[in-house]
Structure 1
Amino acid sequence: MSSIPVMIPWLGEEEALAAAEAVRSGWVAQGPRVAEFERAFAEYLGVPHAIAVSSCTTALQLALIGAGVGPGDEVVVPSFSFIATANAVTYLGAVPVFADVELSSGNLTPGTVEPLLTDRTKAVIVVDQGGVPVDLPAVEALVAGRGITVVEDAACGAGSLLNGRPVGSGAAIAAYSFHPRKLLTTGEGGMVTCQDGELAARLRRLREHGMSVSAADRHAASGGASVVETYDEVGYNFRMTDIQAAIGLVQLGKLPAMVARRRELAARYRELLGPLGERLVADPPHGSSNFQACWLLLPEDAPDRTEVLARLAEKGISARRGIMAAHLELPYKGASRVELPTTELLTGRSLILPLYHSLTEEQQDTVVAALREIVG
């Protein structure tokens, strides 16, 4: 392994004990700890409903179902995002329509979305890319009255703020990721949040095969009475386990400290790298980032990004290519209806720097010194 990896989850004895307690309880599938994690996450966001699921991808799929997306519909998405954003649309037989992003944030704006809206547009997925909060109200204002739902892909966003509130808290529907590359991790896992109670109830059924009564509720039926569930629509197995939820509850308590430390390290990167002319991703005017991905745009005269990554690896430093562009990958090659120059610039010239809670200033100085040597 690299001596300085790009990411290390902040996991420790407290998470291990929580997981062990779940195992010892005998209830390891979706059960009381999942329900507790849902309540705690909803309270953190200030939203009425949170539904725990197996990944952010499944969260996005349920969110789109909740938005009424189906075969033949169009959904505007950024290409500058992990491919799962577009895949969730494709799973439903709908068409992902790729929009460009703004240079400073890597996020969609009303100006990049509006030219792609048609009478077939059913939804827009906005992404808090790398933890940078998207201007959700601006996009919602653009589509108001058109029968279009704005779904917030907040996969990277836990801990970021939009106008002083947690990202996703104002969205009609939002999806979160708890993958190990995210600040708050459950190993794998995700969450859907929404404002509407009937929609939340439906999504809870859909994540558990469409059951009218959950397995946990059947088990808890008073007096051991037999409860026979029904299945009124085709559902999915998108459940989270109680073991994961137990870890998630511990992680949620650590989230403020994680964000504070990452912001401190990102500010230090900016101070140290500024004289080289590289541009580090920054807070937008409308919010603050958790710096889930601390990406750097290399100067035009820098060596090729692949060479920079290889030379960093030779020095024991693990960085990553910048955020991908889905329209350049084989499943979506040639699918873009418009040119995406900013997306292609960012995905081709940016790289993600090591950033995690336990990163030391000495390690950070090593990264910066290596970049100074390589970039010049």
Structure 2
Amino acid sequence: MSSGSGKMPLFVPVNLPEMEKAALDVIRSGQIAAGPLVEQFERELSQLVKKDHIVLTNDMTSALILALKLSGVQPGDKVATQAFSCLSTNSAIAIVGAEPVWIDINPKILSMCPEDLGRKMSPDIKAVLLYHIAGYPAETAKISSICRTNSIKLIEDCNNALGALTGGSPVGQMGDFSVYSFYPNRQVNGFEGGAVVCPDDANENRAKKLRRFGVDYKNFRDHRGEIDPGCDVPEIGISASFSQLNAAVSLAQLPTLAARQAQTLRNAERLRAGLVNIKGINLIATDKDKLPAYWVFLIYAEQRDQLLETLKRNNINASILHQRNDVYTGFSPVQAQLDGTEYIMGHIMAIPCGWWLGEENIDAIANTIAEFYTD
């Protein structure tokens, strides 16, 4: 088997001298928790995703909690979602006291199945949480249409889809809310962080209050700087603020983001060309108007678990990526009948294609997979 050229990790966090300087400057300033860099990053992110009304949070799950609350989801309500997802997504449903309705995935296009969503729609469902799996754009237009027909909110989970496009526009345009992540293995990585994109000023202002206990900081303190006892907090929120330190580190990455995304795309195209004719590998079909962010490169593989072991022995850090969430007893109901999801769980594999890999790495990955099936 081919050994490739050194270790080939699935994820590598960005590490730039500019990030270190930015972090040190904030630490030395003493203004670590809050500050003007947070608003600056919100403005910069707005330019990237082509949406206004962005509210940064301490992590993605908090952003989803806010999106669910802003969507009107109450304890006892239901939220349609996918079982094949990161627990950081679906945990928000349980945290707000709602119940997931597990919607199947169409393996051919790796998207929540609009037909299954339509079959399972009921008056109890108050929102749909749509995950763009690993940065592969979902069938958002069809799902958005179902949501509008049933007068419910659509939340797009774009947590690893920064840079993904549909029809030339960033994903996240069709939802009532969309959510992004700045976890250390995302396209832009803070120490941690998330963002919820709101539809208007009212929702943005409410989200900004809810991310800091429900406090309106414009009126919370009096002329002395003391808490004003006359300032009410009518809706209690959570502790979910994005820090000045996180903002500084994230902002320092933006000048080089386009170059990293371009290299990732070149790697993905080279990897696709190297795998397309291998018997035993099925590539994920992507429409011409959809461009994945390629957080990872996804394939379906026969003898998946044996191939996974082979790749890891050859320093290629492939992964199954997610465990279907409906097996966890913390959710109710548990273990739905999801044929497409079951196929995905038995065949899916995420392989590295990120900006940190060179052509020799990409070729080594393709050659190792080809030799596995030849043997």
More displaced, 262-271 or 305-314?
305-314
> Paired residue for 1:307?
306
Shift of 1:145: 4.2
Q: Please, which of 296, 300, 320 is the counterpart of residue 299 of structure 2?
A: 296
Q: 1:375 to 1:30 in 2, by over 3 A?
A: farther
Counterpart AA for 1:125: L
2:66 paired with 1:62? yes
Contact 2:159/2:180 (<8 A) preserved: yes
User: Which residue of the partner structure matches residue 195 of structure 2?
Assistant: 191
| Structure 2 equivalent of residue 242 of structure 1 | 244
SS at match of 1:176: strand
Equivalent pair of 1:151/1:174 in contact (CA under 8 Å)? yes
Structure 1: how far apart are the matches of 2:99 and 2:333?
Answer: 13
Partner residue of 2:264? 262
**Measured at CA, do residues 265 and 214 of structure 1 come closer, stay the same or move farther in structure 2, by a change above 3 Å?**
farther
Q: Distance in 2 between matches of 1:204 and 1:307?
A: 48
Amino acid at match of 1:351: M
The one-letter amino acid paired with 2:317 is S
- Give me the whole-angstrom Cα distance separating, in 2, the residues matched to 1:195 and 1:32: 23
Quote the residue 2:144 is aligned against: 140
- Counterpart in the other structure of 1:120: 124
Match of 2:234 among 228, 232, 236: 232
Of 185-194 and 359-368, more deviation after overlay is shown by: 359-368
Superposed counterparts of 1:66-215, under 5 Å: 66-213=70-217
Give the CA deviation at 1:136. 2.1
Quote the offset at 1:227 in angstroms.
5.9
State how far apart, in whole Å, the 2-side matches of 1:275 and 1:122 are: 44
SS at match of 2:369: helix
Confirm or deny: 8 A CA contact 2:99 2:332 kept in the other structure.
no
- Structure 1 counterpart of 2:49, which letter? L
TM-score norm. by structure 1 comes to 0.91
Deviation at 1:274, TM superposition (A): 1.5
Q: Does 1:318 align with 2:321?
A: no
In structure 2, what is the equivalent of residue 370 of structure 1?
A: 368
Q: 2:355 aligns with which of 350, 357, 365?
A: 357
Letter in 2 for 1:364: I
* 1:5 has 2:25 as partner: no
Q: How far apart in 2 are the matches of 1:287 and 1:107?
A: 12
Amino acid at match of 1:234: I
Give 1:201 deviation, angstroms: 0.6
CA RMSD in angstroms comes to 2.1
Alignment size in residue pairs: 366
CA distance in 2 between counterparts of 1:158 and 1:186 reads 14
**1:41 and 1:252 in contact (8 A); partners too:** no
Q: Shift of the alpha carbon at 1:126? A: 0.9
Shift of 1:275: 2.0
SS of match in other structure, 1:150 = strand
Shift of 1:86: 1.9
C-alpha distance after superposition, 1:84-121 (max 9, x if no partner): 22211111111100001111332113212111111101
Secondary structure in 2 aligned to 1:155?
coil
Q: What amino acid maps onto 2:330 in structure 1?
A: P
Q: In structure 1, what is the equivalent of residue 290 of structure 2?
A: 287
Unpaired runs of 5+ in structure 2? 1-5
Q: CA deviation at 1:352?
A: 0.8
For 1:324, the aligned partner's letter is: Q
Q: Hey, what's the Cα distance between the residues in 2 that align with 1:122 and 1:50?
A: 22
For the residues of structure 2 that align with 1:281 and 1:323, how far apart are their CA atoms?
A: 16
Q: Corresponding residue for 2:3?
A: none
1:334 CA drift (Å)? 5.9
> Could you tell me how far apart the structure 2 residues matched to 1:242 and 1:113 are?
40
CA distance in structure 2 between the partners assigned to 1:291 and 1:155 by the alignment? 12
Can you give the 5+ residue segments of structure 1 that lack an aligned partner in the other structure?
none
Identity of aligned residues (%): 27
Conserved? CA contact 2:127–2:154, under 8 Å = yes
Q: Judge which range, 17-26 or 92-101, deviates more.
A: 17-26
Q: Scaled by the length of structure 2, what TM-score is found?
A: 0.91
